[in-house]
Chains A and B, each alone.
Chain A
Amino acid sequence: MNINATLLAQLIMFALFVWFCMKFVWTPIVAALDERKKQIADGLADAERAKQDLELASRRSAEILREAKEKAGEIIGNSEKRASEIVEESKTQAKIEGDRIIAGAKAEIDQEVFRAKEQLRTQVSAIALAGAGKILGREIDAKAHNDLLDKLVAEI
Protein backbone atom coordinates (compact mmCIF):
# COMPACT_ATOMS: atom_id res chain seq x y z
CA MET A 1 0.00 0.00 0.00
CA ASN A 2 3.01 2.26 0.04
CA ILE A 3 3.71 4.54 -2.90
CA ASN A 4 7.21 3.67 -4.03
CA ALA A 5 9.37 3.23 -7.11
CA THR A 6 6.89 0.68 -8.43
CA LEU A 7 5.01 3.75 -9.62
CA LEU A 8 7.86 4.70 -11.94
CA ALA A 9 8.31 1.11 -13.08
CA GLN A 10 4.61 0.89 -13.92
CA LEU A 11 4.71 4.21 -15.73
CA ILE A 12 7.64 3.08 -17.89
CA MET A 13 6.07 -0.33 -18.47
CA PHE A 14 2.83 1.34 -19.50
CA ALA A 15 4.62 3.59 -21.96
CA LEU A 16 6.51 0.64 -23.47
CA PHE A 17 3.36 -1.45 -23.78
CA VAL A 18 1.51 1.37 -25.51
CA TRP A 19 4.43 1.95 -27.86
CA PHE A 20 4.69 -1.73 -28.70
CA CYS A 21 0.96 -2.04 -29.18
CA MET A 22 0.84 0.94 -31.48
CA LYS A 23 3.83 -0.09 -33.56
CA PHE A 24 3.56 -3.87 -33.79
CA VAL A 25 -0.04 -4.73 -33.04
CA TRP A 26 -2.46 -2.01 -34.01
CA THR A 27 -0.89 -0.94 -37.29
CA PRO A 28 -0.61 -4.37 -38.99
CA ILE A 29 -4.01 -5.57 -37.79
CA VAL A 30 -5.78 -2.41 -38.87
CA ALA A 31 -3.93 -2.56 -42.20
CA ALA A 32 -5.18 -6.11 -42.73
CA LEU A 33 -8.72 -5.08 -41.79
CA ASP A 34 -8.59 -2.19 -44.25
CA GLU A 35 -7.31 -4.51 -46.93
CA ARG A 36 -10.16 -6.92 -46.31
CA LYS A 37 -12.61 -4.02 -46.43
CA LYS A 38 -11.16 -3.06 -49.79
CA GLN A 39 -11.30 -6.65 -51.04
CA ILE A 40 -14.94 -6.95 -50.10
CA ALA A 41 -15.76 -3.62 -51.72
CA ASP A 42 -13.90 -4.69 -54.86
CA GLY A 43 -15.69 -8.01 -54.87
CA LEU A 44 -19.06 -6.34 -54.61
CA ALA A 45 -18.17 -3.90 -57.37
CA ASP A 46 -17.00 -6.80 -59.54
CA ALA A 47 -20.23 -8.65 -58.92
CA GLU A 48 -22.21 -5.57 -59.86
CA ARG A 49 -20.18 -5.16 -63.02
CA ALA A 50 -20.54 -8.84 -63.91
CA LYS A 51 -24.28 -8.51 -63.48
CA GLN A 52 -24.34 -5.60 -65.87
CA ASP A 53 -22.14 -7.49 -68.32
CA LEU A 54 -24.45 -10.47 -68.13
CA GLU A 55 -27.47 -8.32 -68.82
CA LEU A 56 -25.71 -6.70 -71.74
CA ALA A 57 -24.60 -10.05 -73.12
CA SER A 58 -28.05 -11.57 -72.82
CA ARG A 59 -29.57 -8.57 -74.53
CA ARG A 60 -26.98 -8.87 -77.29
CA SER A 61 -27.48 -12.60 -77.68
CA ALA A 62 -31.23 -12.08 -77.98
CA GLU A 63 -30.59 -9.53 -80.70
CA ILE A 64 -28.23 -11.86 -82.54
CA LEU A 65 -30.79 -14.63 -82.29
CA ARG A 66 -33.48 -12.37 -83.70
CA GLU A 67 -31.23 -11.31 -86.56
CA ALA A 68 -30.33 -14.90 -87.33
CA LYS A 69 -34.00 -15.87 -87.41
CA GLU A 70 -34.74 -12.99 -89.74
CA LYS A 71 -31.90 -13.96 -92.01
CA ALA A 72 -32.93 -17.60 -92.02
CA GLY A 73 -36.49 -16.59 -92.93
CA GLU A 74 -35.18 -14.43 -95.72
CA ILE A 75 -32.98 -17.21 -97.04
CA ILE A 76 -35.84 -19.68 -96.96
CA GLY A 77 -38.09 -17.20 -98.80
CA ASN A 78 -35.44 -16.57 -101.42
CA SER A 79 -34.81 -20.21 -102.01
CA GLU A 80 -38.53 -20.95 -102.32
CA LYS A 81 -38.84 -18.18 -104.89
CA ARG A 82 -35.81 -19.46 -106.72
CA ALA A 83 -37.15 -23.01 -106.67
CA SER A 84 -40.46 -21.94 -108.18
CA GLU A 85 -38.54 -19.88 -110.72
CA ILE A 86 -36.47 -22.91 -111.65
CA VAL A 87 -39.61 -25.01 -111.99
CA GLU A 88 -41.21 -22.35 -114.20
CA GLU A 89 -38.09 -22.03 -116.26
CA SER A 90 -37.77 -25.75 -116.81
CA LYS A 91 -41.45 -25.95 -117.69
CA THR A 92 -41.01 -23.26 -120.37
CA GLN A 93 -37.83 -24.91 -121.57
CA ALA A 94 -39.57 -28.26 -121.85
CA LYS A 95 -42.45 -26.68 -123.76
CA ILE A 96 -40.09 -25.01 -126.20
CA GLU A 97 -38.14 -28.19 -126.61
CA GLY A 98 -41.33 -30.16 -127.16
CA ASP A 99 -42.58 -27.64 -129.72
CA ARG A 100 -39.27 -27.75 -131.46
CA ILE A 101 -39.32 -31.55 -131.58
CA ILE A 102 -42.88 -31.52 -132.83
CA ALA A 103 -42.04 -28.95 -135.53
CA GLY A 104 -39.01 -31.03 -136.64
CA ALA A 105 -41.15 -34.13 -136.84
CA LYS A 106 -43.79 -32.28 -138.84
CA ALA A 107 -41.20 -30.94 -141.25
CA GLU A 108 -39.79 -34.41 -141.71
CA ILE A 109 -43.21 -35.81 -142.29
CA ASP A 110 -43.95 -33.09 -144.87
CA GLN A 111 -40.69 -33.84 -146.55
CA GLU A 112 -41.48 -37.53 -146.58
CA VAL A 113 -44.91 -36.85 -148.01
CA PHE A 114 -43.44 -34.60 -150.66
CA ARG A 115 -40.84 -37.17 -151.52
CA ALA A 116 -43.44 -39.90 -151.71
CA LYS A 117 -45.57 -37.66 -153.90
CA GLU A 118 -42.65 -37.02 -156.16
CA GLN A 119 -41.89 -40.69 -156.40
CA LEU A 120 -45.48 -41.47 -156.88
CA ARG A 121 -45.76 -38.86 -159.61
CA THR A 122 -42.71 -40.20 -161.40
CA GLN A 123 -43.99 -43.70 -161.14
CA VAL A 124 -47.44 -42.62 -162.24
CA SER A 125 -45.98 -40.88 -165.26
CA ALA A 126 -43.98 -43.99 -166.05
CA ILE A 127 -47.07 -46.12 -165.69
CA ALA A 128 -49.02 -43.65 -167.83
CA LEU A 129 -46.32 -43.78 -170.45
CA ALA A 130 -46.25 -47.50 -170.36
CA GLY A 131 -50.03 -47.56 -170.53
CA ALA A 132 -50.15 -45.11 -173.35
CA GLY A 133 -47.39 -47.01 -175.20
CA LYS A 134 -49.42 -50.19 -174.85
CA ILE A 135 -52.49 -48.44 -176.01
CA LEU A 136 -50.79 -46.88 -179.01
CA GLY A 137 -49.05 -50.05 -179.82
CA ARG A 138 -45.81 -48.58 -180.09
CA GLU A 139 -43.18 -47.24 -178.07
CA ILE A 140 -43.42 -43.63 -177.34
CA ASP A 141 -40.28 -41.88 -177.90
CA ALA A 142 -39.53 -40.44 -174.58
CA LYS A 143 -37.48 -37.79 -176.12
CA ALA A 144 -40.08 -36.79 -178.66
CA HIS A 145 -42.81 -36.61 -176.16
CA ASN A 146 -40.87 -35.19 -173.32
CA ASP A 147 -42.89 -31.97 -173.30
CA LEU A 148 -46.05 -33.94 -173.15
CA LEU A 149 -44.76 -36.04 -170.40
CA ASP A 150 -43.60 -33.12 -168.32
CA LYS A 151 -46.99 -31.52 -168.85
CA LEU A 152 -48.59 -34.67 -167.65
CA VAL A 153 -46.38 -34.96 -164.65
CA ALA A 154 -47.14 -31.39 -163.74
CA GLU A 155 -50.83 -32.09 -164.00
CA ILE A 156 -50.78 -35.09 -161.73
Chain B
Amino acid sequence: MSSEMAHAATEVAHEAAHTSGDYIKHHLQNLTYGQLPDGTWGIAHSAAEAKAMGFWALNLDTFFMSLLLGAIFLFVFRHVAKTIVSGTPGSLQNFCEWAIEFIDTSVRGSFSSKNNMVAPLALTIFFWVFMMNLMDLIPIDWVPLMMSALGVPFFKVVPSTDPNATFGMAIGVFLLVLYYSVKMKGFGGFMGELTLQPFGKWGMPVNFLLEGVNLIAKPISLALRLFGNMYAGEMIFILIALMGGAWAGFSLGGVTLFGSQILLSLGWAIFHILIVTLQAFIFMTLTVVYLDMAHQEHH
Protein backbone atom coordinates (compact mmCIF):
# COMPACT_ATOMS: atom_id res chain seq x y z
CA MET B 1 0.00 0.00 0.00
CA SER B 2 2.90 2.36 0.47
CA SER B 3 3.38 2.87 -3.28
CA GLU B 4 -0.32 3.72 -3.68
CA MET B 5 -0.05 6.15 -0.88
CA ALA B 6 2.96 7.83 -2.42
CA HIS B 7 1.20 8.29 -5.73
CA ALA B 8 -2.01 9.51 -4.21
CA ALA B 9 0.00 11.95 -2.16
CA THR B 10 1.60 13.48 -5.25
CA GLU B 11 -1.74 13.87 -6.93
CA VAL B 12 -3.34 15.71 -4.08
CA ALA B 13 -0.26 17.40 -2.88
CA HIS B 14 -2.03 20.36 -1.34
CA GLU B 15 -4.21 18.22 0.83
CA ALA B 16 -3.19 15.99 3.65
CA ALA B 17 -4.38 13.01 1.65
CA HIS B 18 -2.31 9.90 2.08
CA THR B 19 -4.55 6.97 1.26
CA SER B 20 -6.63 5.94 -1.71
CA GLY B 21 -9.64 6.63 0.48
CA ASP B 22 -8.49 10.21 0.86
CA TYR B 23 -7.87 10.43 -2.88
CA ILE B 24 -11.44 9.37 -3.59
CA LYS B 25 -12.86 11.70 -0.97
CA HIS B 26 -10.84 14.56 -2.36
CA HIS B 27 -12.23 13.96 -5.82
CA LEU B 28 -15.77 13.84 -4.56
CA GLN B 29 -15.60 17.03 -2.49
CA ASN B 30 -17.12 20.21 -3.88
CA LEU B 31 -15.48 23.58 -3.48
CA THR B 32 -17.91 25.00 -0.93
CA TYR B 33 -18.19 28.62 0.10
CA GLY B 34 -20.04 29.36 3.33
CA GLN B 35 -19.76 30.28 6.97
CA LEU B 36 -16.78 28.63 8.62
CA PRO B 37 -16.95 27.33 12.25
CA ASP B 38 -15.14 30.43 13.50
CA GLY B 39 -17.94 32.63 12.13
CA THR B 40 -16.09 34.08 9.14
CA TRP B 41 -17.15 33.38 5.51
CA GLY B 42 -14.79 31.44 3.31
CA ILE B 43 -14.00 28.24 1.50
CA ALA B 44 -14.30 24.95 3.36
CA HIS B 45 -11.02 23.04 3.52
CA SER B 46 -12.46 19.67 4.44
CA ALA B 47 -15.62 17.65 3.93
CA ALA B 48 -16.56 18.11 7.58
CA GLU B 49 -16.21 21.87 7.33
CA ALA B 50 -18.38 21.92 4.20
CA LYS B 51 -21.02 19.83 5.90
CA ALA B 52 -21.01 22.09 8.94
CA MET B 53 -21.84 25.08 6.76
CA GLY B 54 -25.41 23.85 6.50
CA PHE B 55 -27.83 25.00 3.81
CA TRP B 56 -26.52 28.52 3.24
CA ALA B 57 -23.41 27.57 1.36
CA LEU B 58 -22.57 27.61 -2.31
CA ASN B 59 -20.69 24.99 -4.28
CA LEU B 60 -18.51 27.34 -6.29
CA ASP B 61 -17.24 24.69 -8.70
CA THR B 62 -20.73 23.46 -9.58
CA PHE B 63 -21.99 26.99 -9.86
CA PHE B 64 -19.22 28.35 -12.07
CA MET B 65 -18.87 25.31 -14.28
CA SER B 66 -22.60 25.11 -14.98
CA LEU B 67 -22.75 28.86 -15.53
CA LEU B 68 -19.77 28.71 -17.89
CA LEU B 69 -21.12 25.74 -19.85
CA GLY B 70 -24.61 27.17 -20.11
CA ALA B 71 -23.14 30.50 -21.19
CA ILE B 72 -21.02 28.82 -23.88
CA PHE B 73 -24.08 26.99 -25.18
CA LEU B 74 -26.21 30.12 -25.22
CA PHE B 75 -23.39 32.25 -26.64
CA VAL B 76 -22.88 29.93 -29.59
CA PHE B 77 -26.57 29.62 -30.31
CA ARG B 78 -27.17 33.33 -29.78
CA HIS B 79 -24.34 34.12 -32.18
CA VAL B 80 -25.99 31.92 -34.80
CA ALA B 81 -29.43 33.39 -34.08
CA LYS B 82 -28.09 36.91 -34.60
CA THR B 83 -26.28 36.17 -37.84
CA ILE B 84 -28.76 33.66 -39.19
CA VAL B 85 -29.64 33.80 -42.87
CA SER B 86 -32.48 31.96 -44.50
CA GLY B 87 -30.27 31.32 -47.53
CA THR B 88 -27.35 28.91 -47.61
CA PRO B 89 -26.21 28.29 -44.01
CA GLY B 90 -22.61 28.21 -42.79
CA SER B 91 -21.33 25.15 -40.95
CA LEU B 92 -21.99 26.47 -37.43
CA GLN B 93 -25.46 27.61 -38.42
CA ASN B 94 -25.99 24.26 -40.05
CA PHE B 95 -25.09 22.50 -36.80
CA CYS B 96 -27.43 24.71 -34.76
CA GLU B 97 -30.23 24.20 -37.24
CA TRP B 98 -29.68 20.49 -37.14
CA ALA B 99 -29.79 20.58 -33.32
CA ILE B 100 -32.96 22.63 -33.29
CA GLU B 101 -34.69 20.44 -35.82
CA PHE B 102 -33.64 17.36 -33.88
CA ILE B 103 -35.08 18.79 -30.65
CA ASP B 104 -38.16 20.05 -32.44
CA THR B 105 -38.82 16.64 -33.94
CA SER B 106 -38.48 14.81 -30.65
CA VAL B 107 -40.65 17.38 -28.86
CA ARG B 108 -43.32 17.09 -31.53
CA GLY B 109 -43.13 13.33 -31.14
CA SER B 110 -43.91 13.29 -27.44
CA PHE B 111 -45.65 16.58 -26.73
CA SER B 112 -49.14 16.81 -28.19
CA SER B 113 -50.40 20.12 -26.80
CA LYS B 114 -49.45 23.60 -27.93
CA ASN B 115 -46.84 25.39 -25.83
CA ASN B 116 -44.05 27.55 -27.22
CA MET B 117 -41.98 27.14 -24.09
CA VAL B 118 -41.44 23.39 -24.21
CA ALA B 119 -39.15 23.15 -27.24
CA PRO B 120 -36.66 25.83 -26.08
CA LEU B 121 -36.79 24.25 -22.63
CA ALA B 122 -35.89 20.90 -24.15
CA LEU B 123 -33.09 22.46 -26.18
CA THR B 124 -31.63 24.14 -23.10
CA ILE B 125 -31.87 20.98 -21.02
CA PHE B 126 -30.33 18.78 -23.67
CA PHE B 127 -27.32 20.95 -24.39
CA TRP B 128 -26.73 22.14 -20.87
CA VAL B 129 -26.89 18.65 -19.39
CA PHE B 130 -24.88 17.26 -22.30
CA MET B 131 -22.08 19.77 -21.78
CA MET B 132 -22.09 19.31 -18.01
CA ASN B 133 -21.89 15.55 -18.48
CA LEU B 134 -19.20 15.93 -21.12
CA MET B 135 -16.85 17.40 -18.51
CA ASP B 136 -16.59 13.84 -17.22
CA LEU B 137 -14.36 13.03 -20.20
CA ILE B 138 -11.68 15.45 -19.06
CA PRO B 139 -8.99 13.27 -17.51
CA ILE B 140 -9.88 12.98 -13.88
CA ASP B 141 -6.83 14.56 -12.29
CA TRP B 142 -6.18 17.45 -14.66
CA VAL B 143 -8.56 20.02 -13.30
CA PRO B 144 -8.08 19.28 -9.57
CA LEU B 145 -4.27 19.34 -10.03
CA MET B 146 -4.42 22.58 -11.99
CA MET B 147 -6.68 24.10 -9.39
CA SER B 148 -4.57 22.97 -6.48
CA ALA B 149 -1.59 24.58 -8.25
CA LEU B 150 -3.63 27.78 -8.15
CA GLY B 151 -4.32 27.24 -4.47
CA VAL B 152 -7.90 26.01 -4.78
CA PRO B 153 -8.30 22.98 -2.49
CA PHE B 154 -11.11 21.14 -4.31
CA PHE B 155 -12.64 21.27 -7.74
CA LYS B 156 -15.31 18.95 -9.13
CA VAL B 157 -15.47 19.75 -12.77
CA VAL B 158 -18.64 17.79 -13.59
CA PRO B 159 -21.63 19.78 -12.27
CA SER B 160 -24.07 16.93 -12.90
CA THR B 161 -22.28 14.83 -10.26
CA ASP B 162 -23.50 17.38 -7.73
CA PRO B 163 -27.09 16.58 -6.64
CA ASN B 164 -27.65 20.33 -6.22
CA ALA B 165 -27.39 20.82 -9.96
CA THR B 166 -29.58 17.89 -10.93
CA PHE B 167 -32.18 18.63 -8.26
CA GLY B 168 -32.12 22.29 -9.19
CA MET B 169 -33.15 21.41 -12.73
CA ALA B 170 -35.58 18.70 -11.66
CA ILE B 171 -37.30 21.08 -9.26
CA GLY B 172 -37.53 23.64 -12.03
CA VAL B 173 -39.21 21.03 -14.21
CA PHE B 174 -41.45 20.01 -11.31
CA LEU B 175 -42.59 23.60 -10.78
CA LEU B 176 -43.47 23.82 -14.45
CA VAL B 177 -45.41 20.55 -14.20
CA LEU B 178 -47.38 21.91 -11.24
CA TYR B 179 -47.94 25.25 -12.95
CA TYR B 180 -49.25 23.76 -16.19
CA SER B 181 -51.31 21.10 -14.38
CA VAL B 182 -53.15 23.85 -12.50
CA LYS B 183 -53.30 26.12 -15.54
CA MET B 184 -54.70 23.50 -17.88
CA LYS B 185 -57.05 21.62 -15.59
CA GLY B 186 -57.77 24.23 -12.96
CA PHE B 187 -56.91 23.71 -9.31
CA GLY B 188 -60.00 21.54 -8.82
CA GLY B 189 -59.22 19.45 -11.83
CA PHE B 190 -55.65 18.89 -10.68
CA MET B 191 -56.80 17.97 -7.19
CA GLY B 192 -59.40 15.66 -8.70
CA GLU B 193 -56.70 13.97 -10.70
CA LEU B 194 -54.71 13.45 -7.51
CA THR B 195 -57.59 12.12 -5.39
CA LEU B 196 -60.31 10.58 -7.61
CA GLN B 197 -58.31 7.89 -9.38
CA PRO B 198 -57.63 5.06 -9.71
CA PHE B 199 -60.21 3.88 -7.11
CA GLY B 200 -63.06 6.40 -7.35
CA LYS B 201 -64.10 8.86 -4.67
CA TRP B 202 -64.44 6.29 -1.84
CA GLY B 203 -60.78 5.40 -2.11
CA MET B 204 -59.68 9.01 -1.77
CA PRO B 205 -56.87 8.62 0.82
CA VAL B 206 -55.40 5.67 -1.03
CA ASN B 207 -55.71 7.51 -4.32
CA PHE B 208 -54.00 10.55 -2.90
CA LEU B 209 -51.19 8.46 -1.52
CA LEU B 210 -50.64 6.66 -4.82
CA GLU B 211 -50.93 9.72 -7.02
CA GLY B 212 -48.87 11.82 -4.61
CA VAL B 213 -46.04 9.33 -4.74
CA ASN B 214 -46.43 9.23 -8.51
CA LEU B 215 -46.16 13.01 -8.69
CA ILE B 216 -43.24 13.35 -6.29
CA ALA B 217 -41.41 10.48 -7.98
CA LYS B 218 -41.14 12.53 -11.18
CA PRO B 219 -38.62 15.18 -10.09
CA ILE B 220 -36.82 12.81 -7.73
CA SER B 221 -36.30 10.14 -10.35
CA LEU B 222 -35.34 12.78 -12.89
CA ALA B 223 -32.67 14.25 -10.62
CA LEU B 224 -31.41 10.99 -9.16
CA ARG B 225 -31.14 9.21 -12.51
CA LEU B 226 -28.82 11.85 -13.91
CA PHE B 227 -26.92 12.28 -10.68
CA GLY B 228 -26.58 8.54 -10.15
CA ASN B 229 -25.34 7.84 -13.63
CA MET B 230 -22.80 10.62 -13.66
CA TYR B 231 -21.68 10.00 -10.10
CA ALA B 232 -21.18 6.31 -10.78
CA GLY B 233 -19.32 7.10 -13.98
CA GLU B 234 -17.07 9.52 -12.16
CA MET B 235 -16.51 6.95 -9.41
CA ILE B 236 -15.38 4.37 -11.92
CA PHE B 237 -12.95 6.87 -13.48
CA ILE B 238 -11.55 7.48 -9.99
CA LEU B 239 -11.19 3.75 -9.30
CA ILE B 240 -9.49 3.20 -12.65
CA ALA B 241 -7.14 6.10 -11.87
CA LEU B 242 -6.29 4.42 -8.55
CA MET B 243 -4.97 1.37 -10.39
CA GLY B 244 -2.22 3.48 -11.86
CA GLY B 245 -1.51 4.75 -8.39
CA ALA B 246 -0.19 1.31 -7.55
CA TRP B 247 2.49 1.75 -10.20
CA ALA B 248 5.92 2.20 -8.68
CA GLY B 249 9.02 0.88 -10.38
CA PHE B 250 9.18 -1.64 -13.17
CA SER B 251 7.77 -4.69 -11.47
CA LEU B 252 5.53 -6.96 -13.51
CA GLY B 253 2.48 -6.16 -11.43
CA GLY B 254 3.11 -2.42 -11.57
CA VAL B 255 3.44 -2.32 -15.34
CA THR B 256 0.32 -4.46 -15.72
CA LEU B 257 -1.68 -2.12 -13.53
CA PHE B 258 -0.39 0.93 -15.36
CA GLY B 259 -1.30 -0.58 -18.75
CA SER B 260 -4.70 -1.63 -17.44
CA GLN B 261 -5.41 1.88 -16.28
CA ILE B 262 -4.76 3.31 -19.73
CA LEU B 263 -6.86 0.68 -21.48
CA LEU B 264 -9.70 0.78 -18.98
CA SER B 265 -9.81 4.59 -18.95
CA LEU B 266 -9.98 4.61 -22.71
CA GLY B 267 -12.69 1.95 -22.81
CA TRP B 268 -14.75 3.57 -20.09
CA ALA B 269 -14.38 7.02 -21.64
CA ILE B 270 -15.60 5.75 -25.00
CA PHE B 271 -18.52 4.01 -23.35
CA HIS B 272 -19.14 7.14 -21.32
CA ILE B 273 -19.67 9.21 -24.47
CA LEU B 274 -22.81 7.14 -24.94
CA ILE B 275 -23.94 7.61 -21.33
CA VAL B 276 -23.26 11.34 -21.44
CA THR B 277 -25.46 11.79 -24.50
CA LEU B 278 -28.06 9.29 -23.43
CA GLN B 279 -28.58 10.84 -20.00
CA ALA B 280 -28.96 14.30 -21.49
CA PHE B 281 -31.49 12.93 -23.96
CA ILE B 282 -33.38 11.02 -21.26
CA PHE B 283 -33.57 14.07 -19.02
CA MET B 284 -34.91 16.10 -21.93
CA THR B 285 -37.40 13.49 -23.11
CA LEU B 286 -38.79 12.83 -19.63
CA THR B 287 -39.19 16.55 -19.05
CA VAL B 288 -41.20 16.82 -22.25
CA VAL B 289 -43.26 13.76 -21.35
CA TYR B 290 -44.00 15.06 -17.84
CA LEU B 291 -45.06 18.41 -19.26
CA ASP B 292 -47.22 16.64 -21.83
CA MET B 293 -48.92 14.72 -19.03
CA ALA B 294 -49.44 17.99 -17.18
CA HIS B 295 -51.19 19.39 -20.24
CA GLN B 296 -53.52 16.46 -20.76
CA GLU B 297 -56.82 15.80 -19.11
CA HIS B 298 -57.16 12.39 -17.54
CA HIS B 299 -60.61 10.91 -17.46
A residues with a Cβ closer than 8 A to B are 1-11, 13-15, 17-18, 20-22, 24-26, 28-30, 32-33, 35-36, 39
A7 touching B168, Cβ below 8 Å:
yes
| Shortest Cβ gap from B100 to chain A (Å) | 5
Minimum CB–CB distance for B25 against chain A, Å: 10
What CA separation (Å) do A18 and B126 show in the bound complex? 11
Q: Say which residue of B29, B85, B119 sits within 8 Å of A26 (CB atoms).
A: B119
A20 to B163: give the CA distance in the assembly, Å: 24
Neighbouring B residues of A18 by C-beta, 8 Å: 117, 120-121, 124, 172
CB-based contact B168/A21 at 8 Å: no
Question: Could you tell me the distance in whole angstroms from the C-beta of B9 to the nearest C-beta in chain A?
Answer: 23
Asked whether, in the complex, the Cβ of A21 is within 8 Å of the Cβ of B77, the reply is yes
Q: Contacts A29-B100, A35-B86: A17 and B55 contacting too (C-beta < 8 A)?
A: no
- Contacts A10-B165, A11-B171, A15-B172 aside, 17 further interface pairs with beta carbons under 8 A come to A1-B28, A1-B30, A4-B57, A6-B59, A6-B62, A6-B165, A7-B168, A7-B171, A8-B168, A9-B58, A10-B169, A11-B172, A17-B128, A18-B120, A18-B121, A21-B74, A29-B97
Contact of A25 among B30, B67, B78, B116 (CB under 8 A): B78
Asked if B77 and A32 sit within 8 Å, CB to CB, the answer is no
With a CB–CB cut-off of 8 A, which chain B residues contact A28? Answer: 81-82, 84
- Which residues of B come within 8 Å of A, CB atoms? 28-30, 32, 34, 50-51, 53-59, 62-63, 66-67, 70, 74, 77-78, 80-82, 84-87, 96-97, 100-101, 104, 116-117, 119-121, 123-124, 128, 162-165, 167-169, 171-172
Do most interface residues of chain A lie in helix, strand or loop, or is the interface mixed? helix
A-B pairs, 8 with minimum CB distance: A10-B168, A22-B120, A6-B164, A26-B120, A35-B86, A28-B81, A36-B86, A6-B59
> Do A24 and B63 form a contact, CB below 8 Å, given A4-B55, A29-B100, A32-B84?
no
Bound Cα distance from A32 to B85, whole angstroms = 7
A5 touches B168 (CB 8 A): no
